[in-house]
Amino acid sequence: MTDRGDELAKLMPKVELHVHLEGSIQPETLLRLAERHDVHLPAKTVGEMQSLYQYTTFLHFLEIYQMCTHVLLTSEDFAEITYEFLQQQAEQNVRYSEVMVSLSDHLIRGVPAETVLEGVFEGQRRGERDFNTRMSILLDPGRQWPSYVTEVSKLAVQHAGNGIIGFGIGGDEANFPPDLFVEDFARVRAAGLHRTAHAGEAAGAESMWGAVRLLGAERLGHGVHAHDDPALFDYLRQHQIAIDMCPVSNVKTGAVTNIAEHPIRRYLEGGLLVTVNSDDPPMFGTSITNEYRVLHDTLGFSESELQQLSLNAVQASFLPEREKKSLRRELESGFAVPGRDTSYW
């Protein structure tokens, strides 16, 4: 790890588009919430929690992810983790985040949607006020529960323009293909919501085609199999459909063998609209700052290339064009004066 890479990663103003709220809970907070609600976790210390984050398969990761959501029961819990998330983002000089909330993981446990959303909105309100960073919310149900995908899509429509900016699907991509969710995506599209989908992570190029053609996804999460099909690669380039890439996560889940083989540089140089993100940071032993550091130190990304990734995230965001222009100017100003005081918004 070079000093220069460390400095760039810390100081660079950033935008993050692929990060899960529940996957961003720090181990200390998980343990505190488990004790608060007398919820059993197979770990009693931070070190033991981190040992759980060693995955044998992608489905094993999903199992651990869902287990960790069991500590979230009240609106205060959701407000707490949202507030802490924004604090963490501000400490990393992240100016704007689009955050996925895994609502189906809570509905399936009997936690009402109102409990989740009231808490998230309250944590967002306080966090944005106290930490001078911003976030928008996307509802992201697990596709392994198709009936809950439908329920969450209806809830997204209900809250469209009132705290929810978009809708997507994550979860078991290999066993639950895009064609199962055509009606759900048509529903949210008709309501004016933005659409994204995890695709090309645990399945191949055909899954990515389905997300684009059948679901009308405007962004794709992970997308590490885009190069498997030259026609797909060309289509994504021509239409500038963004791919939100998560290098460390992709290695930890086995989607990519190692960082050196990650296709993010190939995609950027090939003209794809790629962004870099942390996915579920503590669950993968990473952070958005670390992702930038890894790109610089391991994959040889230059300062200008890292800046381009940050600006790509502005372009790929679901913000209105006026707000994109303002955010772009803000980032470019931050690039021009490294180490400046970050007092924004």
Q: Which residues are catalytic?
A: 201
* Interatomic CA distance for residues 179 and 183, integer angstroms: 9
DSSP for 291-321 reads: HHHHHHHTS---HHHHHHHHHHHHHHS-S-H
Number of H helices, E strands in the chain: 16, 8
CA nearest to 134, candidates 142, 143, 125 = 125
Report the DSSP pairing between strands 134-139 and 14-20.
unpaired
Six token digits for residue 199? 């695709």
Contact 142/105 with Cβ under 8 angstroms? Answer: yes
Half-sphere CA count of 255, side-chain side, radius 13 A:
30
Six token digits for residue 181? 């969710």
3-state secondary structure of 165: strand
3-state secondary structure of 34: helix
CA nearest to 217, candidates 198, 232, 237, 235 = 198
Place of tokens 């309501």: 191
